[in-house]
Amino acid sequence: MARTKGFDPDAVLDLAVEVFRERGYAATSVDDLLARLKIKRQSLYDTFGDKHALFLAALERYDRRLGEEVIAVLEGDEPGLRAIERVFGSVIGARAGGGSDAWRPGCLMVNTAVELAGRDARAADRVARSAERTEQAFLAALERSRARGELSARHRDLRPLARYLANSLRGLQVTARMGADAEELRDVIGVTLAALR
């Protein structure tokens, strides 16, 4: 008869996400993970595999959570520009220590792209799929905006604009991670959103 795990694997993955967000992949040792996750080494290996497998599972878990918090806003029913403004504003909220925790302490996907994308094909693939998903969500919001007449008439092809917004969001996350204050982030957001009108 199989033994029941003495822990919730999803809760452990949530903690792993936080460890990897704070420290990065390379700077996080298995001992760091065990101390924070409060599980035994054998349990980690039996449930998740090695450190790299745990990291990939944490990326997947983070991407699903991001989808609930960010993608759902962009693909929801509210006017497209308002949804886009809310997503960009959530970075300020996280920087200030309030609101959604999607970006605190930085986006795991962006952090991973900066640290590992050129050296870890599996992590790079996970990051690329997440970036494509975000771009698609921005495109959905832009299509709603166009249907409401909110966009400048010069924006005929919305795909480049969706790419611009996805790239701007990643850049804003890096800027926030570097310590920019809310006023600096608002300045960047203001210029970014001005391109839509």
Which amino acid does the sequence have at 117? A
- In tens digits, the chain (197 residues) has pLDDT values of 445 567 899 999 999 999 999 899 999 999 999 999 999 999 999 999 999 999 999 999 999 887 778 899 999 999 999 999 999 998 887 655 544 444 456 789 988 998 997 899 999 999 999 999 999 999 999 999 999 988 877 778 999 999 999 999 999 988 888 888 889 999 999 999 988 87
- Give me the residue spans of the domains in the chain: 63-194
pTM of this prediction?
Answer: 0.83
Q: 105 and 112 in contact (C-beta within 8 Å)?
A: no
- Taking the C-alpha atoms of residue 136 and residue 10, their distance in angstroms, rounded to an integer, is 27
What residue has token string 């909220």? 93
- Taking the C-alpha atoms of residue 66 and residue 103, their distance in angstroms, rounded to an integer, is 9
Q: Is omega for the bond preceding 9 within 30 degrees of 0, making it cis?
A: no
Closest CA to 81 of 125, 14, 155, 140: 140
* Encoded tokens for 117: 């994308």
